[in-house]
Amino acid sequence: MGGLAPNTKRTLEIMRKVLVFFLFLCWVPQALALMSPEEEAELGRKILAEIRAQAEIIEDPELTQYLQRIGQRLLRHAGPHYFTFHFFILRNSALNAFALPGGYIFVTSGLIEEVDREDELAAVLAHEIGHVQARHVARRLAALQRLQLATAGLSLAGLLLGGGKAGSAVAVTSSALALTRALAYSRADEEEADRRGFEYLVKAGYDPAAFLSILEKIVRHRWLLTETGPNYLLTHPAPPERIAYLESLVQRYPSPKKSPGDTFYLRRLQVRLKVLTHDPGNLVVRYREALKLSDDPMLRYGLGLALARSRFFPEALQELSLVVRAFPHRDYFRLDLAEVYFEAGQYRQAQAWLRDYLSRHPGNLRARWLLARTYQELHRWKEALAAFKELEPKLSDLPEFHYYYGRLLSEVDREGRAHYHFARYFALKGDFRVARYHYRQALKYLPQKDPLREKIAQKLQALGPPKS
């Protein structure tokens, strides 16, 4: 394990904790049958909070909205579903994707950077949706319940002991092998997820051949931990038989005449994601060197974003202004420029660019969020409050939204609701101790007849008693 990259170590730790959650179910009498959809959703929420506390989720509204849009397009053809699906980007260089119980689907930043077209990303999401729709995770958990309690306890001890000699010795016993087999998706699971995913992909108008092209990329780069970790962390085995099965499926479906998705827009999002997940100083050097060989405006775009992240705002604004002029009909570059004006503290310029952009794209979530924050920084409380209230249903899963909403409400002396949103922020971040504190503070300030009190009581009950 000592030679693993830091993000791989973090992922191992996350998956170890996820497995502990799974093992815990073996010890709970109520879980002796296939869990109900409600129980599965609750487990998913707990694991999501653990992942938020241990790893970095890319909380960028535009990137998340892009993933959500593809997912919802597929879900329209997936039939009735038990859960409200949520899609996340995990900062990790590996090419991987996985589904948590309850419809929480994760794609790594490394995988998004590697796709060549939207169809490939849609194929990954379609496959994960197939696993959730077939409730494969719940069925794997049921398989765990058939293991003897001693087996589960021994393997749990090995996981908790970590990477030391004692932990390693326990982990390589036949007990761990039994758990490995119980947790891994079976070949039948993978085939069913492929079959369902193909159906969703084709009905949504995507190219089914994307299943093979993205799988080939993943096989080339090797699935996360195939050589350095136990097989239960390998979420999607790809033996030759599975690839042959996929090839036979592809042959049955004609490719669409026109592939959906704007490849140029995807490339821009990939550059944006790269700047968010890599060292900006190194990227500044790399983009400047690349621009000596090519005057590609997308290289200049990456340079502008990397300069902004490095807080060289005048240079960043200069580079992005050149990009806006190079692509006068691609408005999203104007939105990027507005964001850098905001980050530079030039709020009036940001407001002008955002209002101009929203006059043509009134529903754009990222632009509306930036404008709400701009109003807040300009102390235009009335406009800011109205903007935050409108955005709350759309951004309720974004921790940053609740943090700034809490600050705004505190500025206008609405302390009860301010504490509620601070609690939501810490709960989403996985800090339940601080979340409980803010929920209780909210109850102190809110009037007795305020309907928010009931919601807070439910949140506190869901969090359970504090750990001693």
Query: How many CA atoms within 13 Å lie on the side-chain side of 92?
Result: 27
Give tens-digit pLDDT for 185-196. Answer: 667 777 888 889
Q: What percent of the chain has pLDDT over 70?
A: 77
CA 54 – CA 152 distance, rounded (Å) = 24
Q: What percent of the chain has pLDDT over 90?
A: 54
Cβ 234 vs Cβ 225: under 8 Å: yes
Contact residues for 449 (Cβ-Cβ < 8 A; gap 6+)? none
What value does the mean pLDDT take over residues 350-364? 96
DSSP 370-402: HHHHHHHHTT-HHHHHHHHHHHTTTSTT-HHHH
pLDDT value of position 102: 86
Which strands make up the sheet holding 86-90, listed edge to edge?
A: 86-90, 104-108, 97-100
Least confident of 116-125, 213-222, 269-278: 213-222
Secondary element (H or E) of residue 448: none
- pLDDT for 141 beyond 80: no
β-strand pairing of 104-108 with 97-100: antiparallel
CA 435 – CA 440 distance, rounded (Å) = 9
pLDDT value of position 9: 61
CA 224 – CA 231 distance, rounded (Å) = 10
Q: Which of 416, 279, 264, 275 is nearest to 340 (CA)?
A: 275
Secondary element (H or E) of residue 49: helix 37-54
- pLDDT for 343 beyond 90: yes
State CA 209 to chain mean position distance: 25
- Write down the residue that tokens 């604004």 correspond to: 317
- Write down the residue that tokens 């969703």 correspond to: 200
Q: What are the sequence ranges of the domains in the chain?
A: 6-252
CA 108 – CA 218 distance, rounded (Å) = 12
Secondary element (H or E) of residue 90: strand 86-90
Q: What is the mean pLDDT of the chain?
A: 82
pLDDT value of position 145: 60
CA 347 – CA 341 distance, rounded (Å) = 7
CA 379 – CA 453 distance, rounded (Å) = 28
pLDDT value of position 236: 53
CA 218 – CA 265 distance, rounded (Å) = 23
